[in-house]
């Protein structure tokens, strides 16, 4: 409550963003949306804003032939999470700014975020023992280098205060950040405050992006922007252990390279489109599914345990494709494809080796509800054969482990209705349905209704 009081008492600037997965593109998506609860200046050098995101989810009893240590509970349950964020920044010059964000994540997710690779609530911290004490989410410096005299307008967001940007420019960022703010961003499906909630709806599930348990890392990032294309590269720190809270600062031992090309072609006249191609390479103290399975089958280990077969210098790499297209002024479609090598341990995001997602949203202008939106997405997640065998023999990942496995792809449908209540307040009933939770045909399907309250202060 002290943290909430602090946010409310300090606010006097706008906010457009998410706690863990904010993006500037998503922030600009709905020009008709109200600004914030409080009026704010777009010309002052300083910036203070905040957000509150509360998510309630539940599920009834569902069919399960068996359950294991990391299973989604088969009996009915419910849970509530909340994320509070204080965004601050200072514009040092026309092209230089410093950002500092303080955050608190509390509550919990259903089954403590275990049992589904495409977990139902991206706001949930995967390690409840971390507690809800405030922590530094972002602390970075952002510098823009102009490569053209022509400028374009930019909307202030939680990731940048600059209101004018050169059309051609080079940008540098350094400090603590979330890679999901900049890579694999999609204006239809990246904002867990106003759009989808499932981990593999708001991000490419196969993109094992470098992050600590709460979703943040320390990185240096460079971007080049032209009028219809962009390129970005980031070197980031990896956690010391899978899903761990502590980052490894030894770049010779552990690190992550991320590169993305973004093209903005005009495929249809006056209709926005974007295509993004992503690649990542993670170096870390990872376990090998092959070695863990072999040690169990030869009797060396009583149970497959990938944590006993970690080795420094192992590499996990993957690719992603991300696209979006305006169909009309109120309807947009999007999709993602993702793949990673699947031989080494899922380490930082979730246990997905292949991912496919398609979806759409519809803004309700016709009913004079231009800030209201309906969205729907279908996601199908998969894992490699070695990953399948590891779980089938009784191994546990940091999210999954039913004790056994009859493999099937984890198929998920999510839909929401985001209703504008007043100024920066939104209420969103939503529904998720998942077949084969944890890739297991012997469990599910499960239906997860939910309700989200989001306030931009």
Task: Tell me the DSSP string of 251-284.
Answer: TTT-EEEEEEEEE---SBTTB-EEEEEEEEEEEE
pLDDT, mean of residues 321-347: 97
What is the rounded CA–CA span in Å between residue 27 and residue 379?
Answer: 23
Residue 133 has pLDDT above 60, yes or no: yes
Residues 6+ apart with CB under 8 A from 443: 62, 63, 64, 65, 66, 67, 71, 72, 74, 402, 436, 437
Each residue of 138-150: pLDDT tens digit?
Answer: 999 999 999 999 9
pLDDT, mean of residues 100-107: 95
pLDDT, mean of residues 246-274: 95
| Phi and psi at residue 143, to the nearest 5° | -125, 135
Each residue of 431-445: pLDDT tens digit?
Answer: 999 999 999 999 999
Domain holding 96, by residue range, is: 2-456
pLDDT, mean of residues 66-74: 96
Ramachandran region of residue 403, left (φ > 0), alpha (ψ -120 to 50) or beta? left
Each residue of 314-331: pLDDT tens digit?
Answer: 999 999 999 999 999 999
Q: Which of 358, 380, 375 is nearest to 434 (CA)?
A: 380
Each residue of 355-386: pLDDT tens digit?
Answer: 999 999 999 998 889 899 999 999 999 999 99
Each residue of 10-24: pLDDT tens digit?
Answer: 333 332 333 344 444
Residue 278 has pLDDT above 70, yes or no: yes
Q: What is the number of structural domains in the chain?
A: 1
What CATH number does residue 141 fall under? Answer: 2.40.160.10
pLDDT above 70 covers what percent of the chain?
92
Share the mean pLDDT of the chain.
Answer: 91
Q: Residue 172's pLDDT band (boundaries 50, 70, 90)?
A: very high
Residues 6+ apart with CB under 8 A from 194: 26, 30, 373, 418, 426, 428, 454
- Residue with the two structure tokens 């998410």: 18
Residue 25 has pLDDT above 80, yes or no: no
Residue 253 has pLDDT above 80, yes or no: yes
Q: Residue 187's pLDDT band (boundaries 50, 70, 90)?
A: very high
Q: Residue 156's pLDDT band (boundaries 50, 70, 90)?
A: confident
The greatest distance separating any two alpha carbons of the chain, rounded to the nearest whole angstrom, comes to: 68
pLDDT, mean of residues 398-405: 96
User: What's the whole-model pTM score?
Assistant: 0.90
Residue 166 has pLDDT above 60, yes or no: yes
What's the pLDDT at 128? 67
Q: Residue 188's pLDDT band (boundaries 50, 70, 90)?
A: very high
Residue 28 has pLDDT above 70, yes or no: no
Cβ-based neighbour number of residue 219 at 10 Å = 23
Residue 230 has pLDDT above 90, yes or no: yes
Q: Which of 373, 368, 369, 342 is nearest to 355 (CA)?
A: 342
Q: Which of 21, 74, 181, 52 is nearest to 403 (CA)?
A: 74
Q: Residue 290's pLDDT band (boundaries 50, 70, 90)?
A: very high
Residue 5 has pLDDT above 60, yes or no: no
């Amino acid at each position: 409550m002290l943290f909430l009081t602090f946010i409310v008492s300090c606010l006097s600037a706008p906010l457009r963003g998410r706690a863990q997965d904010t993006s500037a593109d998503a922030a600009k998506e709905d020009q008709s949306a109200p600004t914030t609860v409080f009026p704010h200046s777009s010309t002052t050098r300083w910036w203070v804003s905040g957000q509150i995101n509360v998510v309630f989810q539940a599920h009834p009893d569902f069919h399960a032939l068996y359950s294991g240590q990391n299973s989604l509970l088969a009996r009915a349950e419910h849970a509530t999470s909340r994320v509070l964020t204080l965004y601050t920044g200072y514009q040092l010059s026309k092209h230089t700014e410093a950002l500092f964000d303080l955050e608190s994540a509390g509550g919990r997710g259903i089954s403590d975020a275990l049992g589904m690779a495409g977990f139902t609530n991206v706001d949930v911290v995967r390690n409840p023992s971390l507690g809800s004490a405030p922590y530094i989410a972002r602390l970075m410096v952002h510098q823009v280098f102009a490569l053209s005299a022509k400028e374009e307008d930019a909307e202030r967001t939680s990731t940048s205060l600059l209101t004018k940007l050169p059309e051609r420019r080079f940008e540098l960022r350094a400090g603590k950040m979330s890679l999901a703010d900049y890579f694999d961003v999609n204006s239809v499906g990246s904002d867990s405050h106003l759009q989808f909630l499932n981990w593999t709806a708001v991000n490419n599930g196969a993109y094992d992006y470098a992050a600590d348990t709460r979703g943040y890392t320390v990185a240096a990032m460079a971007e080049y922007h032209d009028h219809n294309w962009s390129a970005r590269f980031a070197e980031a720190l990896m956690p010391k252990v899978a899903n761990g809270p502590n980052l490894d600062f030894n770049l010779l031992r552990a690190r992550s390279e991320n590169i993305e090309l973004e093209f903005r072609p005009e495929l249809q006249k006056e209709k926005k489109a974007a295509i993004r191609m992503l690649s990542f390479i993670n170096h870390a103290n990872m376990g090998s599914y092959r070695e863990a399975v072999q040690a169990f089958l030869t009797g060396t280990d009583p149970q497959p345990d990938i944590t006993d077969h970690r080795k420094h210098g192992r590499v996990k790499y993957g690719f992603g494709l991300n696209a979006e297209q305006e169909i009309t002024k109120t309807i947009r479609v999007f999709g993602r494809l993702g793949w990673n090598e699947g031989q080494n341990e899922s380490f930082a995001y979730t246990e997905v080796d292949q991912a496919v997602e398609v979806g759409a949203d519809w803004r309700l202008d016709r009913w004079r509800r231009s800030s209201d939106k309906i969205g729907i997405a279908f996601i199908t997640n998969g894992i490699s054969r070695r990953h399948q065998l590891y779980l089938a023999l009784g191994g546990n990942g940091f999210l999954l482990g039913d004790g056994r496995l009859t493999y099937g792809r984890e198929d998920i449908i999510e839909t929401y209705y985001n209703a504008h209540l007043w100024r920066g307040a939104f209420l969103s009933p939503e529904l998720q349905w998942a077949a084969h939770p944890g890739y297991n045909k012997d469990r599910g399907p499960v239906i997860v209704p939910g309700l989200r309250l989001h306030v931009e202060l």
